[in-house]
Amino acid sequence: MESGVILSGSANIYYELYGDEKNDVLVLLHGNGESGRNFKKHIEMLKDKYRLLVIDSRGHGNSEFGKGQLSLGTMSVDLVNVLEHFGFDKVNIAGFSDGANIAMLTAIKNSDIIDKLILIGGNYNIHGFRIGTALMLRVGYMCASLSAFISPVNRFNKEYFSLMVKEPDLKKESLSVIKCRTLVINGNKDMIKTSHAKAIADTIPNAELKIVEGDHFWIYRKPEEACRIITEFLS
């Protein structure tokens, strides 16, 4: 395993690299408030099959926050910068939750660098959340904003909630420019509405939808099933 940081804009982005350099590259992108270490079990099952690149998103894990507010758009730029650093001109990406949203944004602007795309529990705007979840996120953002106003130390919670409440904010039609073959995965008890996941799959020209048994965090609760589905799709 190789690990280190790569400067992207105002932040050092932490990465871990596994597997034989002769294998196809697979990038794993974690969700909000997480880090690449959430993929610990998946790494063990996938590192012998792929050149595995695991990145801590800006402001998460071992990656720096940098200047300004966190945004998925900046995280997408970070991803492209890391890929360019390694000279990877064609990769597969599997993103979970905010990681899926970062992957979507990357595919919209840089579809040519992606071979296959796996979007797990992603959404193109806040309306993708079930009503109860969206309400809780808005309340959480208000509380976090008040807490950050009282004490700047609490800034991070506000930033994390902001990513879910304000981003992404895409029109469904913008997904139609994604060229790569795509697998959209959603849990049948997910906080993301099944209809929203279906809309993503229907709008991306070369996409298919897979509904799995489980909630939003299915990928972590059933890592063996997740790795099997990922491997089958990439094969």
Is residue 155 included in any domain, yes or no? no
Q: Is 219 within the bounds of a domain?
A: yes
Closest CA to 76 of 88, 58, 96: 58
Specify the pTM: 0.95
> Is cis: bond before 223, omega within 30 of 0?
no
**In a domain? residue 133:** no
SS3 call for 169: coil
Residue 106 falls inside a structural domain? yes
Task: List the domain range (segments joined by +) for residue 24.
Answer: 2-128+172-234
Alpha-carbon 155 to chain mean position: 22
> Which domain CATH number covers 223?
3.40.50.1820
Residue 138 domain-assigned? Answer: no
For the chain, what is the total number of helices (H) and then of strands (E)?
8, 8
Q: Could you tell me the pLDDT band of residue 152, with boundaries at 50, 70 and 90?
A: low
pLDDT > 80? residue 233: yes
- pLDDT of residue 20 exceeding 90, the answer is yes
DSSP 8-state symbol, 140: H
Residue environment code for 209-230, b if the CB has 16+ CB neighbours within 10 A, otherwise e: beebebebbbbbebbeebbebb
Q: How far is CA 128 from CA 19, 98, 160, 168, 235, in A?
A: 35, 13, 18, 10, 29
The verdict on residue 160 lying in a domain is no
Q: What is the pLDDT of residues 184-208, one digit of tens each?
A: 999 999 999 999 999 999 999 999 9
Is 167 inside a domain boundary? no
Best CA proximity match to 57, nearest among 29, 19, 38: 29
Q: What is the pLDDT of residues 105-141, one digit of tens each?
A: 999 999 899 999 999 999 999 999 999 999 988 988 7
Instruction: Annotate 21-69 with DSSP letters as a single string.
Output: TTSPEEEEE--TT--GGGGHHHHHHHTTTSEEEEEPPTTSTTS---SS-
Give a yes or no: residue 208 inside a domain. yes
Q: Which residues pair with 51 in a beta bridge?
A: 25
Q: How many domains does the chain have?
A: 1
